[in-house]
């Protein structure tokens, strides 16, 4: 009889629940959106109860779709939007304020204050992160500063602080467990990634008492069991957890040092496995914890491309040269090359490794013969160039080549983009059969924690490739492309 794993993928705009067999057959799926809250420009919040309700509804839909009763589930794995943080009452489980979302920029003044105090080098060394409103720690400080009573209750341990993973485990287990995992904890500015423990030196400037923090655990172990809640019966082990991008790296089975993944969405998120070493970046990348299985810890380097699919959306919505995003591939394929046109998609500045917030998008190399096909092709190539820059920075920091790139996300279906990416990287690109790798990673971790799979070797035995792309461009052509790209970036 097949055993089933439930993967809860709690995202920024909605929650997805997938039910998978141990051979990775998706037998059921459910999705539910929830509203975004924008109290002020640059501020983003979520109602935690709306998040919880979206998870419950998605569980119901997935079970109905699978024609299964909740008792058929052998394990639950969770993955979540990282850095989003909230406070709740330990006695009642009720949130005291909306969750502050990872996108929210309200804590920029706190970050500036900490930088002015000369604390950024210490945070960088201990956490692998930058002092930026993106991360959870300054959000936690902001929350505690809103109410003196909360500060008093926090010091007494009457409140719980957590990222979304912690909140979901708390709710699913009926308050039995206040836990987080090393991957989510590594994004808070509060955990020393070398010791895998909360650090008083990091907590003190943030004003966060240890009493409200969750216990830091590994990524594949039983954190607690469900209580009877909605569609789920009591007793299902909650056995795996990871932040979304680390879950995708795990779901892509990037278990060897130098293996990388890229998720192509609105932007592009890249992580590379650096093994047991927390590699400090000299090129503006983030050092983060990938996962901890038993006593073995795997670290990663992370970089982001701000604009990927959003560049194609810009062609659709602003230039109106395509009617729907998938049409960009056929338009780009209508010409043999970009005709010398280079598009630097710096529509929101340039991220790693350039880090130029003042950079602006640039279409360079236009001639009287340039047409829509050339611009479409240059757009796809621009995304590949940006991604290649991050991968090169990762390789340089790691001191060894990237040994293979696995891809997922909507744009990974674009064969022209994937081929050009392989040509630039001069390495094979692999697309998995199941491109929802974030949920897959949560399922793998939950299954490992509950004993459905016994090792990563078992996972490699069921992980399946859909397609691969091998480099076919000559080194001379590649060098010419990269030279033109470098020139265009210098002008952006």
DSSP conformation letters of 153-197: HHHTT-EEEEEHHHHHHHHHTTTS--EEEHHHHTTTT-EETTTTE
**pLDDT given at position 469:** 96
Name the nearest CA neighbour of 441 among 7, 83, 143, 102. Answer: 7
Beta strands 259-264 and 286-293: pairing type? unpaired
Integer Cα distance of 184 and 168 in angstroms: 13
Terminal C-alpha separation, the chain: 59
Return the ∠ at Cα 271 (arms to 141 and 6), rounded to 5°. Answer: 80
Q: How far apart are CA 354 and CA 417, in angstroms?
A: 22
Cα–Cα distance for residue pair 275/256, rounded to 1 Å: 7
Per-residue model confidence (pLDDT) at position 106:
86
Mean pLDDT across the stretch 223-235? 89
pLDDT score at 309: 83
C-alpha to C-alpha distance for 166 and 288, rounded to whole angstroms: 19
Confirm if 34 and 53 have CB atoms less than 8 A apart: yes
Confidence of residue 265 (pLDDT cuts 50, 70, 90): confident
d(CA 291, CA 254): 11
Higher pLDDT, 130 or 423: 423
The percent of residues above 90 in pLDDT, for the chain, comes to 74
Q: What is the mean pLDDT of residues 328-344?
A: 94
Mean pLDDT for 274-299 is 94
Mean pLDDT of 421-425: 95
- Confidence grade of residue 440 (pLDDT, cut at 50, 70, 90): very high
Question: Is residue 492 over pLDDT 80?
Answer: no
What pLDDT was estimated at residue 374? 95
Strand order in the sheet with 4-10: 26-33, 14-21, 4-10, 73-80, 237-243, 224-225
Integer CA distances (angstroms), 137 to 66, 83, 128, 144, 395, in order: 39, 8, 14, 11, 29
Say whether 148 sits in a helix, a strand or coil: helix
Instruction: Look at strands 259-264 and 404-408 and give their pairing.
Output: parallel
CA distance 440 to 459: 11
Q: What is the pLDDT of residue 2?
A: 72
Q: List the single range of 19-23, 102-106, 275-279, 284-288 with lowest mean pLDDT.
A: 102-106
Contact assessment for residue 385 and residue 346, using Cβ atoms and an 8 Å cutoff: no
Query: Whose CA is closest to 344, among 369, 307, 304?
Result: 307
Q: Mind listing the pLDDT tens digit for each residue in 3-37?
A: 899 999 998 888 999 999 988 889 999 999 988 88
Dihedral, 167, 172, 173, 177 alpha carbons, nearest 10: -20
Structure tokens that stand for 178 in this block: 């206040």
What does pTM read for this prediction? 0.90
Residue 489 has pLDDT above 70, yes or no: yes
Q: Is 426 exposed, middle or buried (0-12, 13-18, 19+ CB in 10 A)?
A: middle
- Distance CA(141)–CA(137), nearest Å, equals 6
Q: Is the confidence at residue 351, as pLDDT, over 80?
A: no
Rounded (10°) CA dihedral 207, 208, 211, 217: -150
Q: How confident is the model at residue 467 (pLDDT cuts 50, 70, 90)?
A: very high
Mean pLDDT of all residues in 114-134: 92
Mean predicted confidence (pLDDT) in 189-214: 95
Neighbours of 27 (CB within 10 A): 17
Q: Domains in the chain, please, with CATH?
A: 4-235 (3.30.420.40), 253-492 (3.30.420.40)
Confidence of residue 151 (pLDDT cuts 50, 70, 90): confident
Dump strand ranges (E) for 189-312: 191-192, 197-198, 215-217, 224-225, 237-243, 259-264, 268-275, 286-293, 296-305
Mean pLDDT score, 324-351: 90
Instruction: Give percent of the chain above pLDDT 70.
Output: 100
Instruction: Report the Cα 371 to chain-centroid distance in Å.
Output: 36
Tokens 């265009």, residue located: 488
The residues, ordered by sequence, that sit 6+ positions from 486 with a Cβ below 8 Å of its Cβ are: none
What is the sign, positive or negative, of the torsion defined by CA atoms of 333, 339, 345, 350?
A: positive
Beta strands in 265-308 (DSSP E): 268-275, 286-293, 296-305
Q: Which pLDDT belongs to residue 234?
A: 92
* CA–CA distance, 436 with 77 (Å, rounded to integer): 14
pLDDT at 415 over 90: yes
Query: Could you tell me the pLDDT band of residue 1, with boundaries at 50, 70 and 90?
Result: low
Contact criterion met (CB below 8 Å) for 403 and 256:
yes
């Amino acid at each position: 009889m097949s055993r089933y794993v439930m993967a809860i993928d709690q995202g920024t705009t909605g929650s997805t629940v997938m039910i998978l067999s141990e051979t990775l057959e998706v037998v059921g799926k459910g999705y539910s959106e929830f509203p975004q809250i924008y109290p002020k420009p640059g501020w983003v919040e979520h109602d935690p109860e709306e998040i919880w309700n979206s998870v419950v509804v998605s569980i119901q839909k997935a079970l109905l779709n699978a024609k299964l009763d909740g008792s058929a589930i052998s394990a639950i794995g969770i993955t979540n939007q990282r850095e989003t943080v909230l406070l709740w009452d330990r006695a009642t489980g009720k949130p005291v304020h909306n969750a502050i979302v990872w996108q929210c920029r309200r804590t920029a003044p706190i970050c500036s204050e900490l930088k002015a105090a000369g604390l950024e080098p210490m945070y960088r060394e201990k956490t692998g992160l930058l002092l930026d409103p993106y991360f959870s720690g300054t959000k936690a400080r902001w929350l505690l500063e809103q109410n003196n009573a909360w500060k008093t209750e926090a010091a007494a341990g009457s409140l719980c602080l957590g990222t979304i993973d912690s909140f979901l485990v708390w709710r699913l287990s009926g308050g039995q467990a206040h836990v987080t995992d090393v991957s989510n904890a590594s994004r808070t500015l509060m955990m020393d990634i070398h010791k895998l423990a909360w650090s008083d030196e990091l907590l003190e400037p943030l004003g966060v008492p240890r009493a409200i923090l969750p216990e830091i655990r590994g990524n594949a172990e039983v954190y607690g069991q469900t209580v009877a809640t909605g569609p789920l019966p009591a007793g299902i082990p909650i056995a795996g957890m990871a932040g979304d991008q680390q879950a995708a790296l795990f779901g892509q089975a990037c278990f060897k040092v130098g293996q990388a993944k890229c998720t192509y969405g609105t932007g592009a998120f890249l992580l590379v496995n650096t093994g047991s070493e927390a590699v400090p970046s000299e090129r503006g990348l983030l050092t983060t914890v990938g996962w901890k299985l038993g006593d073995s810890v795997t670290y990663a380097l992370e970089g982001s491309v701000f604009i990927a699919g959003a560049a194609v959306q810009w062609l659709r919505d602003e230039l109106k040269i395509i009617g729907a995003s998938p049409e960009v591939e056929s338009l780009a394929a209508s010409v043999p090359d970009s005709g010398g046109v280079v598009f630097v998609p710096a529509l929101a500045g340039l991220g790693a490794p350039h880090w130029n917030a003042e950079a602006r998008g640039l279409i360079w190399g236009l001639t009287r013969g340039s047409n829509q096909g050339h611009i479409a092709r240059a757009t796809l190539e621009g995304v590949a160039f940006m991604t290649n820059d991050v991968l090169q920075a990762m390789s340089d920091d790691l001191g060894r080549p990237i040994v293979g790139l696995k891809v997922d996300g909507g744009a990974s279906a674009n064969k022209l983009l994937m081929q050009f990416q392989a040509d630039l990287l001069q390495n094979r690109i692999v697309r998995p059969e199941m491109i929802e790798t974030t949920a897959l990673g949560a399922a793998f971790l939950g299954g490992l924690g509950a004993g459905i799979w016994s090792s990563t070797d078992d996972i490699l035995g069921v992980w399946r490739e859909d397609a691969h792309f091998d480099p076919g461009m000559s080194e001379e052509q590649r060098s010419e492309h990269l030279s033109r790209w470098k020139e265009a970036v210098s002008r952006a």
